[in-house]
Amino acid sequence: MGTSEQWLAWLGMATVISPVALLLLLGTSMLAGLRASELWVGQLTRAAVLIGLLATLGVLVLMLVTGVRYVPVGLGDWVHLGGTGHEFSFHLKFNFDRLSVPFTILVFVLCGTISEFAQRYLHREAGFRRFYLLYALFLAGMVVSSLAGTIETLFLGWEFVGLSSAMLIAYFHERRGPVQNGLRVWAVYRLADAAFLVAALAMHHLHGHGDFGHFTGVGPWPDGRADLGAGPAMLVGLLLLVAAAGKSALVPFSGWLPRAMEGPTPSSAVFYGALSVHLGAYLLLRVNPVLQESWIVRLLVVAVGLATAISAAISARVQSDVKSALAYASLTQVGLIVVEIGLGLNYLALIHIIGHASLRTLQLLRAPTALRDWQQIENAIGPESPVRDGRLGEAAPGWAAIAVYRFGLERGFFDTLLDRFLVAPLMGLFRESDRLERIWTDWLDRRPSRESDLAELHPEGEGE
């Protein structure tokens, strides 16, 4: 192994290990009940982000200098079972290429910025340490997902991102709204995770392992070609599209994104405005060679992206708070990014992600002072003239304008549709089963069989 290869391997490992070490340190101290000072937490986070960022930049420089386009870094087999014709291995492999390196740099830059912002924004907040623990979980998840060389590794990071996101939305857990929204996001993520896992299993069966290099064929990103038939590619592609739709709030799962803004501003900015919301798009970029094998999947990707962009653009225009408006503005761009991916414009999509994520982070961080900014602008240039409808709005018939307004105000009816046609029937079915079970046990007992019916809602007292 040459010197540059050795350096690449070391730097690659440092990129992955630094956020994982941060997570372990903060997690262990929390579990042990230690109350680390804000200063210590901040310094530790800063060090981990800086090490990770510098290491990734080092990888980038070395790749540019040596002209290498693809650097696999293996940490070995986490688990390996086999020797009898039934093999199973969980290989911890990370790929540094033209897709993962820019995205990882973006992750470190934005997370670093947010960490510095949050140290002041959340100063002396009761949940300061909890925020940073979840932040570390998110950072580790994002870095692992971005660099994952196997689908199992990607799934590992994907799960970290999901949990941290849901818990951060419910950060202000003493209020009911954030908690309910956090649970809703978690439910959508679990659905996306299930689709992802089934896709991973299908890939395993098609190739015997989950290494991206094998099912995206020969050639570094984005030139790889998958050696799948159209049928299997369609099956896997559709499952991955569902997974990406859940993670990136694409239609019909768009409803979770504005709900995610219940969290503290730093988390809204970096997670739902910048990084988390792009993770689904990133997944589609990563598996683009699979998508390219099936025109049906490509068509669906474009359709879903377009539907998301249009519906989000409409909803953004009727939001009454700045964070929700920004959330839908984000979603509009994510929809367009997905359209670009469907059309095979991979580099454009990547650049779009990076530019959009940076802009949106800045906007969301300025959101708490939006009124003050507005006043400053008005003081400088005078009050703005009242907003008027555009030409299209003026030309449209009244009923159409009302329908579009209603569509926007109801956020595309997506949550309503999911609730009515998916959640309600499912919950109804299980509640009915519960009722039947009660009838059965009551009949066997010849009296009411459930002591739990007597459980008081708040035997401990009202508290509040």
Partner 1 sequence: MGELHGAWLELAIAVPLLGAWCVQLARDVRTARSLAGAFAGVTLVLAGAEWIDFQSLHVFEAHDDSRWLGWAGLNDVLVVDKLTAPLLPLVALVHFLTVVSTPLNKAQRFSFGWTLVAEALVLATFSCRASWCLVGLLLAGLVGPWVELRRRGASTRVYSFHMGSFAVALVTGWGLWLHGPASWKPAALICLAFAALIRSGTVPLHCWVSDLFEKATFGTAILTVAPLTGALVAMRLVLPFSPQWVLQGVAVMSIVAAVYAAGMALVQTEARRFFCYLFLSHSSLVLAGLEVARPLGLCGALSVWISVTISLTGFGIVLRCVESRIGRISLAGFHGLYGQMPTLAGFFLLTGLASIGFPGTVGFIAMELLVEGVVEVWPWIGVGVVVTAALNGIAILKVWFRIFAARKRDELIPLGVRWPEKFAITLLTVLILAGGIWPQPGLRSRYRAALELLEHRRTESGMVLQPISPPPSALRVFPNHPP
Which CB sits closer to partner 1, 61 or 439?
439
> At its nearest, how many Å lie between partner 1 and the CB of residue 43?
24
How far apart are the C-alpha atoms of 192 and 395, rounded to whole Å?
40
Binding flag, residue 174, partner 1 (CB under 8 A): yes
| Residue 98 Cα distances to 232, 351, 359, 451, angstroms | 27, 11, 22, 61
Q: Can residue 446 be called a binding residue for partner 1 (CB under 8 A)?
A: yes
Counting contacts by CB under 8 A, is residue 202 touching partner 1? yes
Binding residue (CB under 8 A) for partner 1 from 55, 166, 251, 326: 166
| 175 is a contact residue toward partner 1 (CB under 8 A) | yes
Taking the C-alpha atoms of residue 461 and residue 464, their distance in angstroms, rounded to an integer, is 9
Residue 169, C-beta contacts closer than 8 angstroms, at least 6 positions apart:
178, 181, 182, 185, 259, 260, 262, 263, 267
The nearer residue to partner 1, 102 or 127, going by C-beta atoms, is 127
If one asks whether residue 457 binds partner 1 (CB under 8 A), the answer comes out as yes
Instruction: Write the CB contacts of 227 (distance below 8 Å, at least 6 apart in sequence).
Output: 215, 217
- Is residue 186 near partner 1 by the rule CB under 8 A? yes
Write the CA distances from 236 to 198, 230, 231, integer angstroms: 8, 10, 9
- What residues between 77 and 96 interact with partner 1 by CB under 8 A? 78-81, 84, 86, 88, 90
Nearest distance in Å: CB 327, partner 1: 22
Residues 6+ apart with CB under 8 A from 149: 72, 73, 74, 91, 93, 94, 95, 211, 212, 213
Q: Does 344 interact with partner 1 (rule: CB under 8 A)?
A: no
Which is nearer to partner 1, 204 or 366 (by Cβ)? 204
Phi, psi of 324 (to 5 degrees): -65, -40
Residue type, 48: A
460 sits near partner 1 (criterion: CB under 8 A): yes
CB of 98 to partner 1, least distance (A): 27
Residue 406 vs 420, nearer CB to partner 1: 420
Given the rule CB under 8 A, which of 74-82, 217-225, 370-378, 404-412 is the region that contacts partner 1? 74-82
The answer to whether the beta carbons of residues 233 and 297 sit under 8 Å apart is yes
- Give yes or no for residue 383 binding partner 1 (CB under 8 A): no
Sorted by sequence, the CB contacts under 8 Å of residue 112 that are 6+ apart come out as: 46, 49, 50, 53
Print the binding letters for residues 7-36 with partner 1: x by CB under 8 A, - otherwise: -----------------------xx-x---
**Neighbour count for residue 235 (Cβ, 10 Å):** 18
Please give the size of the binding site for partner 1, defined by CB under 8 A: 73
- 213 to 242: interface string for partner 1, x by CB under 8 A: ----------------x-xx--x-------
Q: CA angle at residue 430 from 429 to 431, to 5 degrees?
A: 95
The reply to whether 187 sits near partner 1 by the rule CB under 8 A is yes
Report in angstroms how near the CB of residue 411 gets to partner 1 at its nearest: 22
Pairwise CA distance, residues 134 & 344, whole Å: 35
Contact indicator for 131, 162 with CB cutoff of 8 Å: no
Closest CB to partner 1 among residues 225, 431: 431
Among 12, 52, 182, 258, binds partner 1 (CB under 8 A): 182
Q: Which of 170, 327, 339, 364 binds partner 1 (CB under 8 A)?
A: 170
382 binds partner 1 (CB under 8 A): no
Q: CB–CB of 160/140 below 8 Å?
A: yes
Site track for partner 1 across 136-155, x = CB under 8 A: ----------------x--x
Residue 174 or 394 with smaller CB distance to partner 1: 174
Confirm or reject binding of residue 197 to partner 1 (CB under 8 A): yes
Tell me the HSE value of 133 on the side-chain side, using a 13 A CA sphere.
18
- For the bound state, the minimum distance from the C-beta of residue 269 to partner 1, rounded and expressed in Å, comes to 23
Least separation, in Å, of the C-beta of 79 and partner 1? 5
CB nearer to partner 1: pick between 111 and 203 = 203
Q: Is the dihedral of CA 258, 262, 265, 271 positive or negative?
A: negative
Q: Do 332 and 309 form a contact (C-beta atoms < 8 A)?
A: yes
Q: Which is nearer to partner 1, 58 or 127 (CB)?
A: 127
CB of 443 to partner 1, least distance (A): 10
3-class SS of residue 33: coil
Only one of the segments 34-42, 254-262, 279-287, 432-440 lies at the binding site for partner 1 (rule: CB under 8 A); that segment is: 432-440
Please give the Cα distance from 8 to 59 (Å, whole number).
6
The distance of closest approach from Cβ of residue 182 to partner 1 in the complex, given in angstroms and rounded to an integer, is 7
Q: Residue 216 burial (CB < 10 Å; 0-12/13-18/19+)?
A: buried
